[in-house]
Amino acid sequence: MSILPPSAPVLPRRILFVAFQRFGLLDLSGPQTVFWCANLFAQERGLPGYDCHTVSIGGGAVRSVEGVVVQTDDAETFPARDVDTIIVPGTPDILDVVDASGALVHWLRQSAANVRRTASVCTGAFFLAEAGLLHGRRATTHWINIDDLAARFPTLTVDRNAIFVQQDPVWTSAGVTAGIDLALALVEADLGYDIALGVARQLVVYLKRPAEQPQFSEMLKAQSRDTPAFDALHLWILDNLGDEALTVDRMAARVNMSPRNFARAYKEKIGRTPAKAVEHFRLEAACRLLRGSGRSIDQIAHACGFGDEERMRVTFRRHMGLSPSEYRQDGVVAPSVSITAQR
């Protein structure tokens, strides 16, 4: 009888977080915290987790743009064959920094060919593009730098809406906190939905956003204006989207105003009528559920307050130029003029 040799232990996935002078601290620490938390859940379940290292070219102390100094290992001490994932943060000074970082770009070009996946957070996409990793691929970055990325690297396709993009073994994310969404997606790909959701809850992330969630949510846009009187109203609307009767009268009563004065003040402050605002909140919620849940289209229509599938379909066609079922299909990305441009 032959004796089978014991199987080799499954090792943790090694992740290198790349630092450079004037990197964005949250671009780095946000994903690092996600993987640290994922390790806790993995250990509870007896699963291989992550072996995380912060590296730089040459190693040593590296100062973030915020002034925090981080100690790093020398990236060259980690053979690429032993690395699973490389994650590159961004910086507000990306154009100057990437031009002065030839050694880092060269290391990325060489290393990425031998690791399972490479990812960028925010303007870190410029490093990936400079290293040739985004040639012919779709990518995203911070909304402020979208045009610069498209102009400087015309061989890539810039996705102006996405929170993060996966194209083959390369992942890119939108600005700053979108790196947390990217890291959650990487954890989900490695360890499954339940662990990713557990990490999101542990970190008190309000929502584990799907890749195609617009960089500017309707709630974020509403909060970006000087509208403290309407902040509580917007939260109430989100909590009651399933109620078809979100009328002007009811909304006015929530803020102790007459319907006429409320409609006028709301349009003046928010830039759209109350009815249009509710429609946009419903549309965004439906987009999220279509990509992030297994509910039927009819169930989503009712949950978001459209009343029925046909009304939701008409709304999708008017704002996005496609049907809910088309939006749900893999690979379909909402046009950039969809939720964020219509008023």
Q: 117 with 23, same domain?
A: yes
Average pLDDT for 230-247 = 88
Instruction: Say if residue 290 is in the same domain as residue 154.
Output: no
Exposed, middle or buried, 254 (CB in 10 Å: 0-12/13-18/19+)? Answer: middle
Contact 96, 149 (CB under 8 A): no
Query: Does residue 230 lie in a domain region?
Result: yes
pTM: 0.68
- Indicate if 69 and 107 belong to the same structural domain: yes
Q: Write the pLDDT tens digit of every residue in 303-329.
A: 999 999 999 999 998 887 889 998 887
**Using the 8-state DSSP alphabet, how is residue 45 labeled?**
T
- pLDDT reported for residue 263: 94
Identify whether residues 62 and 125 lie together within a single domain: yes
As a whole number of angstroms, the distance between CA 159 and CA 56 comes to 29
**Both ends of the chain: CA-CA distance in Å?**
75
pLDDT of residue 68: 97
Range of the domain at 280: 218-328
CATH assignment of the domain containing 233: 1.10.10.60
Judgement on whether residues 164 and 264 belong to the same structural domain of the protein:
no
135 with 37, same domain: the answer is yes
Which is more confidently placed, 285 or 135? 135
Q: 71: which residues sit within 8 A by CB, 6+ positions away?
A: 54, 60, 61, 62
| Structure tokens given for 148 | 């610069």
Considering the domain architecture, whether residues 171 and 222 belong to the same structural domain is answered as no
Q: Are 110 and 231 within one domain? A: no
CA 185, CA 166: separation in Å to the nearest integer?
Answer: 10
Q: Is residue 288 part of a domain?
A: yes
Domain count for the chain: 2
Same domain, 44 and 185: yes
Identify whether residues 83 and 152 lie together within a single domain.
yes
Q: Which residues are catalytic?
A: 122
